[in-house]
Amino acid sequence: MTGDEGDSCTTPPADPWRQHAARIRRVIQELPGVATYELVPESGVGSNAGSGLWPFRAGQFNMLYLPGIGESAISISGNPDQIDVIPHTVRQAGNVTNSLAKLREGDVLGLRGPFGSSWPIERCAGHDVVLVAGGIGLAPLRPAIYHLLANRVGYGELTLIVGSREPRLLLYPGEYDSWRAAGLNVITTVDRADDGWKGSVGVVTAVLDRLWIRDPVRTLVFTCGPEVMMWYVMRTAASRGVPADALYLSLERNMNCAVAFCGHCQFGPYFLCREGPVLSFERVRHLLRVENL
């Protein structure tokens, strides 16, 4: 699979239709209607067959399958360097995810993947990186955070701007302090503050607009969240001088097959299960403002 220069892609599985059994090791209730499922493949797959490992790149997704119900494309939210357990953070939003919420530790489901393009981590060497997340959009960015922090000396300033509607809806708040200690500047912002909130109030783009960017030409911006949010993040970053080919976003559509066969995830000329979900802003900005696309 190929993409435009800078987009990071990974060859799909040798048999992309093959389902693998995966057991739920732990369920972590993150937010109301949002949980992280730590999955352990029942047998080795891919290049690590026999070892129980499931290699993936930050930003990719898997298809989770429940027999008799269907499949759902879910971003992998774990550490690419720790692949004995594969976490997926899931928001209840339909038949598959609602049924998944009824499963418990020890239950088995089907899994195939990984699929799609990934965050262009290799481009980040020697650069400052700004990650902007809205709500559950932090889940696809978390693997990139893990990788950047594990190799911290290879990068410049690292900043995460994460926003939610209110403080109790911030995702993974228990990790922010450890990320800060490892060298990530974590800035939280909410639409509505409560009495105990001491952080920023407002949208993530307002925080980005105030952020000190020491060298825009040597800065990359990754974003994931509501599509309208990502549009304004990209616009704001571009207005700050960050080159359009250094802006990346993760797009979500209804990915039914994951192999560009069914057409449900088509976005203009692209199939997001194949060319995406991570794409450069330069590549798709002319499509993002097309109504109902």
Q: Which amino acid is at 85?
A: V
CA distance 230 to 276: 15
- What does the pLDDT look like over 114-166, one tens digit per residue? 999 999 999 999 999 999 999 999 999 999 999 999 999 999 999 999 999 99
CA distance 237 to 129: 12
- Is residue 232 classed as helix, strand or coil in its secondary structure? helix
User: What mean pLDDT comes out for the span 275-281?
Assistant: 93
Question: Which is it for strands 108-115 and 20-31: parallel, antiparallel or unpaired?
Answer: antiparallel
- What is the helix, strand, coil percentage profile of the chain, to 5? 25, 30, 45
CA distance 106 to 50: 21
Using alpha carbons, list the distances in angstroms from residue 288 to 112, 270, 283, 285.
29, 12, 10, 5
Which CATH architecture does the domain made up of 121-288 adopt?
3-Layer(aba) Sandwich (3.40)
* pLDDT at res. 48: 41
Q: How confident is the model at residue 227 (pLDDT cuts 50, 70, 90)?
A: very high
Residue ranges of domains in the chain: 8-115, 121-288
Of 52-56, 150-154, 255-259, the least confident:
52-56
The DSSP bridge partners found for residue 163 are 134, 189
- What does the pLDDT look like over 79-108, one tens digit per residue? 999 888 999 999 999 999 999 999 999 999
Per-residue pLDDT for 5 more than 80?
A: no
The topology under which CATH files domain 8-115 is Elongation Factor Tu (Ef-tu); domain 3 (2.40.30)
Per-residue pLDDT for 3 more than 70?
A: no
CA distance 218 to 14: 37
